[in-house]
Amino acid sequence: MLVKETTVLNRYPLWNYLMLMVIICIGLLYALPNLYGEDPAVQITGARGNRVSEAVLGQIQSILEQKKIASKSMVLEDGAVLLRLKDSDVQLRARDTLMAVLGEKYVVALNLAPATPAWLARLGAAPMKLGLDLRGGVHFLMAVDMDTVLSKLQEHVMDSARSDLREKNISYVALENAALEKRGNYGLKVSFIDDKVRDSAMSWLSVRHPDWIFSYGGDNALNIKISEAGLEEARELAVQQNITILRNRVNQLGVSEPLVQRQGAERIRVELPGIQDTAHAKEILGATATLEFRLVNSKIDTSVIAIPYIPADSEVKESRDGRPVVLYRRVILTGMHITDSTASTDEYNQPQVSISLDSVGGSKMSDFTKDNIGKPMATLFVEYVDSGKKDASGRAILTKREEVINVATIQSRLGNSFRITGIDNLAEARQLSLLLRAGALTAPIQIVEERTIGPTLGLKNIAQGLEACLWGLSVSVLFMVVYYRKFGLIASGALLVNLLLIIGVMSLLPGATLTMPGIAGIVLTVAVAVDANVLINERIKEELKNGRSIQLAIHEGYKGACSSIVDANISTLITAVILYAVGTGSIKGFAITTAIGVVTSMFTAIVGTRAVVNLLYGGRRISKLSI
């Protein structure tokens, strides 16, 4: 009876082996792309949601042939061109050449394109994303346009002064249809009828605005200047707010472990590891688009060829079809109050963007529309673009481009949610929605430097880290084989399969990024896997010493060690989950690889080695065990 029981022990049904083989094959399949590396590439996409056509593709080919720039391949897919090149020097030449010729209608960006074979790519296999410390990535250095920041501050001071003087019924002399004249140093000049009115105005304004600096000018004029402390505060706030908004935009792109930090007084450094669509990232990060909602001055007849007279409180803007629209200068609301936006199509299949406002914006919109039902309100699209000119320091000069994308009559009182239409296509609606959702930049920024960056820890350090990993694995394998013989060989095979599965799972997970701390997590899981195999083998040896039969010793050894292995690994897994939940950056990278490694090591140590042992020894009469 005992002989019969021992001969049926340690046997797996066929489906267990098939399941094991399928899992290993899938792991191998999705780990394979990591062997092929990446090609330096240039990506060309249309700006503002437009697509690259076949004609533009032909133009790009012609430009490259003229400049004798050889490419490995050129593919037009989903309205974008991906140009693969042989090295980074050719990549930079191609980028600079195409940017000079294609202009602002297209976004030309550097990329690192996976060299994965087409048959693997069709199966959804791709190399795992590597962090900045292992792979490098795309680097952008952005400069905040401080002239625009301070000009906006000057406009704010102008509006405040005008409002305060009107509140006190202090009259001033209008100059060129403007109540206040802009002065150098972001100051203002107000001219009055006589010195008494001027003195009265200065007394009133100095109480309301203690941070303004006042001085007398000629012809009963009062000069107003913003203090140096006020200017510095505005500069500091602009940089900090832009950093926050850029981080929001990077989050919208779904990049793992990005770097967004200040560099110097007016610049921001952005580094994006492992990003695939760098052209889209460049367009989103550098975009300065926002919306302004203004009331249309319907008293002015825009149907005449030359608009006869524009009052000081209004200005002329153009719609997308080139028609003039007279808007009041007063801005009802800006994109700063937008908390959420989604792109969709209306009942006529036209693109639209649904907008949600914060409490302050909703209150402003509600109060304004309540008092202006029946009047037309315009949505003004504002962005800053490269003018093609450079200043004395070599920086590109930005120009402000504005166009009215929508004019609608206020039918009822609006609240925190409403929709805007008049957008050209759904792609542009999605991009505008993303920008508004991430936040409007406080001041325009321009990309002054763009390049692909190498590993920040250096190739030598990476090689040493990987070498340490391999040495640790080799020593573990040697120990297992010498000490446990055939069972050690089985355990070593399980370690290699464990590494294969970790790489496969890391390649499959879209949000997983491997960093140097992540490699440390892999080393830790190798140690955990070795520990599990040692537990199993020692339990089997112990059962043999207690006089158990070989089959029973194998069975009881795995059964006894299983609960200890699961308990220890579950504790490690809980720790990894907590680290991922509360940690940031490198800590999350360590937690991800540790968690994946714990699960795969339990699978290979308990299920994988047991399957091999059962295949070699299960259901047989064995006189001696190689352990």
DSSP character string of 475-507: HHHHHHHHHHHHHHHHHHHHHHHHHHHHHHHHH
In whole angstroms, give the CA distance from residue 545 to residue 146: 80
User: Which CATH number fits the domain that encloses residue 601?
Assistant: 1.20.1640.10
The position carrying tokens 């000057």 is 154
At which of 406, 440, 474 does a domain end? 440
Q: Are 31 and 507 in contact (CB under 8 A)?
A: yes
91: which residues sit within 8 A by CB, 6+ positions away? 40, 41, 42, 85, 110, 452
Q: What is the SS3 assignment for 546?
A: coil
Which pLDDT band holds residue 257 (cuts at 50, 70, 90)? low
Which of the pair, 473 or 97, is modelled with greater confidence? 97
Domain containing 109: what range?
38-114
308: which residues sit within 8 A by CB, 6+ positions away? none
Q: What is the pLDDT of residue 255?
A: 64
Q: What does the pLDDT look like over 301-344, one tens digit per residue? A: 776 656 667 787 888 888 877 888 889 888 888 777 777 778 88
**Proportion of the chain above pLDDT 70, given as a percent:** 85
Q: Domain for residue 125, yes or no?
A: no
User: Which CATH number fits the domain that encloses residue 384?
Assistant: 3.30.1360.200
Same domain, 418 and 351: yes
Q: What is the pLDDT of residue 387?
A: 62
358: which residues sit within 8 A by CB, 6+ positions away? 337, 338, 339, 416
Nearest to 234 by CA among 162, 294, 149, 119: 149
Task: Name the amino acid, one letter, at 365.
Answer: M
Mean pLDDT (the chain) is 80
Which pLDDT band holds residue 177 (cuts at 50, 70, 90)? very low
Same domain, 611 and 471: yes
b/e code 488-517 from CB counts within 10 Å (16+ = b): bebbbbbbebbbbbbbbbbbbeeebbbbbb
Which of the pair, 107 or 460, is modelled with greater confidence? 107
Instruction: Give mean pLDDT, residues 72-86.
Output: 85
Q: What is the pLDDT of residue 22?
A: 92
Strands 290-296 and 259-263: unpaired
Q: Domain for residue 316, yes or no?
A: yes
Q: What is the SS3 assignment for 545?
A: helix
Same domain, 590 and 539: yes
Which of the pair, 388 or 74, is modelled with greater confidence? 74
Which of the pair, 293 or 9, is modelled with greater confidence? 293
Q: What is the SS3 assignment for 411?
A: coil
Same domain, 415 and 469: no
For the cut 80, the answer to whether the pLDDT of residue 474 exceeds it is yes
Same domain, 518 and 389: no
The position carrying tokens 């000490």 is 483
Please report the sign of the dihedral spanned by the C-alpha atoms of residue 614, residue 615, residue 620, residue 626: negative
Same domain, 22 and 93: no
Q: What is the pLDDT of residue 4?
A: 47
In whole angstroms, give the CA distance from residue 554 to residue 537: 9
Copy the structure tokens of residue 152. 């906006």
In whole angstroms, give the CA distance from residue 277 to residue 352: 25
Task: Name the amino acid, one letter, at 468.
Answer: A
418: which residues sit within 8 A by CB, 6+ positions away? 354, 355, 365
Q: What is the SS3 assignment for 619?
A: coil
Instruction: Give mean pLDDT, residues 474-491.
Output: 86
Same domain, 391 and 293: yes
Nearest to 341 by CA among 419, 261, 423, 458: 419
Which pLDDT band holds residue 184 (cuts at 50, 70, 90)? very low
In whole angstroms, give the CA distance from residue 167 to residue 190: 16
Q: Is 184 exposed, middle or buried (CB count within 10 Å of its CB: 0-12, 13-18, 19+)?
A: exposed
Same domain, 577 and 461: yes
Which pLDDT band holds residue 176 (cuts at 50, 70, 90)? very low
Q: Domain for residue 136, yes or no?
A: no
Same domain, 489 and 363: no
Q: What is the pLDDT of residue 335?
A: 73
The position carrying tokens 């792609």 is 427
Same domain, 15 and 92: no
User: Which CATH number fits the domain that encloses residue 55?
Assistant: 3.30.70.260
Torsion of CA 506, 511, 512, 515, to 10 degrees: 150
In whole angstroms, give the CA distance from residue 56 to residue 106: 10
Q: What is the pLDDT of residue 372?
A: 87
Q: What is the pLDDT of residue 26?
A: 92
Same domain, 505 and 583: yes
For the cut 60, the answer to whether the pLDDT of residue 347 exceeds it is yes
540: which residues sit within 8 A by CB, 6+ positions away? 487, 553, 554, 557, 558, 625, 627
Instruction: Give mean pLDDT, residues 217-223.
Output: 78
Q: Are 132 and 149 in contact (CB under 8 A)?
A: no
Q: Domain for residue 393, yes or no?
A: yes
Which pLDDT band holds residue 581 (cuts at 50, 70, 90)? confident
Same domain, 462 and 606: yes
The position carrying tokens 């770097």 is 259
At which of 90, 114, 138 does a domain end? 114
In whole angstroms, give the CA distance from residue 159 to residue 152: 11
CA angle 168, 172, 177 (to 5 degrees): 125
For the cut 80, the answer to whether the pLDDT of residue 262 exceeds it is yes
Which pLDDT band holds residue 501 (cuts at 50, 70, 90)? very high
Q: Are 88 and 39 in contact (CB under 8 A)?
A: no
In whole angstroms, give the CA distance from residue 84 to residue 102: 18
In whole angstroms, give the CA distance from residue 216 to residue 579: 63
For the cut 50, the answer to whether the pLDDT of residue 145 exceeds it is yes
16-30, 350-364, 384-398, 557-571 — most confident range: 16-30
Q: Domain for residue 276, yes or no?
A: no
Q: What is the pLDDT of residue 2?
A: 43
Q: Of the given ranges (80-84, 441-445, 477-481), which has the lowest mean pLDDT? A: 441-445
Query: DSSP letter string over 53-102?
Result: -HHHHHHHHHHHHHTT---SEEEEETTEEEEE-SSHHHHHHHHHHHHHHH
Q: Domain for residue 360, yes or no?
A: yes
In whole angstroms, give the CA distance from residue 60 to residue 102: 9
For the cut 60, the answer to whether the pLDDT of residue 166 exceeds it is yes
Copy the structure tokens of residue 131. 């962090």
What distances in angstroms separate CA 185 from CA 166, 223, 393, one per listed residue?
25, 11, 20
Strands 513-514 and 129-130: parallel
For the cut 60, the answer to whether the pLDDT of residue 548 exceeds it is yes
Q: Domain for residue 65, yes or no?
A: yes
Total count of domains within the chain = 4
Query: DSSP letter string over 150-219?
Result: HHHHHHHHHHHHHHHHHHTT---B-BTTBSSEEEGGGEEEEE-SSHHHHHHHHHHHHHH-TTEEEEEETT
Q: What does the pLDDT look like over 227-240, one tens digit per residue? A: 888 888 888 888 88
Q: Are 52 and 81 in contact (CB under 8 A)?
A: yes
Q: Are 422 and 405 in contact (CB under 8 A)?
A: yes
Q: Domain for residue 361, yes or no?
A: yes
At which of 185, 209, 230 does a domain end? 230
